[in-house]
Amino acid sequence: MQRHRTLSLQFVLASTLSGIIFLLIALIWPVLTTSFGGIRNEVNLLTAPDAFNGDWFAITAYVMVFVCVAAPLAQVLLLSWLLAFALNNRRAPGFSALLPLLKVLRPWAMIEVFFLGALIVVVKVGGWVSVSLGPGIWSLAAFSGLLAAVHRFDSATLWSKQDLR
């Protein structure tokens, strides 16, 4: 028995579009800024994997990019695409292939794990170097909240929508 209210398509579409904006902010603006001995280093989601480039940790960096950027971004883009058509009472092109893909991507979107890891870094490293939170970390927090709301949406309702052409 479902106890929670089903989310409206408009709310989920608004959340996914807002999530895209928040994720783009986290990709561009610094998540963390460290400074020690006059050396300042800013890290965002795009530059973080570069720290591991050329090292055997590079595979970890690519997994991080997949679970923190590619999977969540693909998920919100796919859902936005499907919902934009559903709100116009139409099935999106590729609907039959995209809906199962959306379900496969759901467990791989782990942006909240990266967010919590970044906060742990601030606490642990904060005693050694000066660490400040950038706009990217706050957009990650907002994106994590929006993604949690989007994950409450049951995409099976798109299948059951009778009046889609």
66, with CB counted inside 10 A (0-12, 13-18, 19+), is: middle
Token pair belonging to 37: 């001995």
- Cβ-in-10-Å burial (0-12, 13-18, 19+) of 80 comes to buried
pLDDT band at 88 (very low <50, low <70, confident <90, very high): confident
Tell me how far apart the alpha carbons of residues 63 and 96 are, in angstroms, rounded to a whole number: 28
Q: Confirm if 4 and 104 have CB atoms less than 8 A apart.
A: no
pTM: 0.80
Give the start-to-end residue ranges of the domains of the chain. 9-29+45-110+135-157
pLDDT tens figures, 5-32: 567 888 889 999 999 999 999 889 998 8
Per-residue model confidence as pLDDT tens digits over 38-74:
888 888 878 877 776 766 777 877 887 888 888 889 9
Digit-coded pLDDT (tens) for 90-139 = 888 988 888 888 888 887 777 778 778 777 877 888 788 888 888 988 99
